[in-house]
Amino acid sequence: MNRRHALYRWFRNNQFKVDLTGMALLLLLFIPLYVLAGQPWQAILCTGLVVPLAWRRTKPVHAAAAIVAVCLVQWIAGTEALAGQIAVPLIVYAVAAYSPAWASRSVLVLGLVGAVMLTTRTYTSNAESGVLDLSVAALYTVLIWMLITVVWTLGDLTRVRRLQLQALQEQTHRMEIEQQQERSLAAADERSHIAREMHDIVAHSLSVIITQADGARYAAAADPNIARQTLETIAATGRSSLAEMRRLLGVLRQDDQASLRPLPGLADVDELLLGFRASGLELRYELTGEPRRQLPSGAELTAYRVIQEALTNVLKHAGPNAQATTSQGWTARGLQLDIIDNGRGAAADPQSADGNGLRGMEERISLYDGSLKAGPATGGGWHVCAYIPYTEA
């Protein structure tokens, strides 16, 4: 089976070599007959009819034009070469199969007209001797028409099949390109998602740990109990972040034994705020309204991460003795989040306004057609305002 397919591919990829070989075999078949019979003129006509067949698939229109010209010379000279009975059907098939539609229709018309011209000349030359009467000429014409029509139909069917195969190949190629693009987009989206998760987990935990470590360093001398409590907070934060990292990496490895516990959502906000309060941040939480319906788990994770990132920025950039207020308000259209602090704002740390955290929050919220505004608050401090609408069915 493989050998046959390889042979078929070779014939398909070397059309000119195959046609050239066929042309040479026909010349070897016909030319010696005319030379031995002492008919050099017939040998020349035979060569003119057979040689163009070497280009019948690579340049079918040019080959057909050459054969038509030789046939006209043959008709005018009143002679007939046996090679024409093979060359004409072959070129009609080739043009119908490998040429544009106009050339295919043209060669069909020329073949039908040529049949009439051939039988007319033969009838006229033999009418006086009565060798060929009108009924025989008509029958001969019909037989040639049938041959030309059948050959042209086969060639046209080959052309249709060839165009269908080309269309399928092009479609397959486009699908491969589209699949590759989809894979690239999916990979890029997954990389962005992983980057956001890694940033939220690492930035939050490290900010809490650094803040606690700095506070413990100054408070340990006065009150060792504060240092012990601070170290407990650091250890708890580290364990929680390590568990989150292991869960994320386990999912990436597609480990069946990886933890698949639910991702944090709005129900976990109280626990999140406790961690910030334990870090020394004076924090007030306000909840207004009632949800019309539950947000998707991904949208709840986004809200959780927005609160986490905004409060982490308060720890990092607001300065000492900063106070923050987190407001979670349900409206008829969705969830409104406002995180306001009275710290130093972006003026004290210009890099805080254009870090990866803000970019990550914008990317998360845009996935749910939400909006995010972050900037200096009136009277000082920093204000993060996020809105996540309901996903309407």
**Domain CATH number, residue 366:** 3.30.565.10
d(CA 332, CA 336): 10
Model confidence pLDDT, tens digit, residues 126-154:
555 555 567 777 888 888 899 899 999 99
CB under 8 Å to 379, separation ≥6 — which residues?
A: 342
**Residue that is last in its domain, among 146, 176, 206:** 176
The one-letter amino acid at 244 = E
Q: Say if residue 157 is in the same domain as residue 294.
A: no
- Nearest CA-CA partner of 190 in 247, 242, 248, 138: 248
Which residues span the domain enclosing 59? 2-176
Please indicate, yes or no, if residue 13 is contained in any of the structural domains.
yes
Cβ density class 192-223: b for 16+ within 10 Å, e for less: eeeebbbbbbebbbebbbebbeebbeebeeee
Q: Are 339 and 384 in contact (CB under 8 A)?
A: yes
Q: Which two tokens stand for residue 264?
A: 């944090």
Q: Number of structural domains, the chain? A: 2
Same domain, 172 and 287: no
Helix and strand numbers (H, E) in the chain are 11, 5
Question: Quick check: is 211 in a domain?
Answer: no
Contacts of 129 (CB under 8 A, 6+ apart): none
3-state SS track over 322-353? CEEEEEEEECCCEEEEEEEECCCHHHCCHHHH
Parallel/antiparallel/unpaired status of strands 382-389 and 334-341:
antiparallel
Residues 148 and 293 in one domain: no
Boundary-marking domain end, from 130, 160, 176? 176
pLDDT of residue 339: 92
pTM beyond cutoff 0.85: no
Amino acid at 55: W
**Low-confidence residues in the chain, pLDDT < 50:** 257-260, 348, 350-353, 393
Cβ pair 92, 67 in contact under 8 A = no
276: in domain: no
| Three-class secondary structure of residue 288 per DSSP | strand
350 assigned to some structural domain: yes
C-beta of residue 316 within 8 angstroms of C-beta of residue 352: yes
Residues 288 and 172 in one domain: no
- The dihedral over CA atoms of 348, 354, 360, 362, expressed in degrees to the nearest 10, equals 110
Q: Got the DSSP string for 219-285?
A: HTTT-HHHHHHHHHHHHHHHHHHHHHHHHHHHHHHT-TTS--PPPP-GGGHHHHHHHHHHTT-EEEE
**What is the CB neighbour count within 10 angstroms for residue 301?**
20
Look at residue 367 and tell me if it is in a domain: yes
The SS3 call for residue 377 is coil
Q: Quick one: which H or E segment has residue 18? A: helix 15-36
Q: Clarify whether residues 36 and 152 are in a common domain.
A: yes
Domain boundary among 121, 149, 176: 176
Determine, yes or no, domain membership for 186: no
- Evaluate whether residue 123 is within a structural domain: yes
Q: Is 250 inside any structural domain? A: no
Q: Are residues 169 and 288 in the same domain?
A: no
pLDDT at 393: 44
Hey, CA dihedral for 10, 11, 13, 16, is it positive or negative?
positive
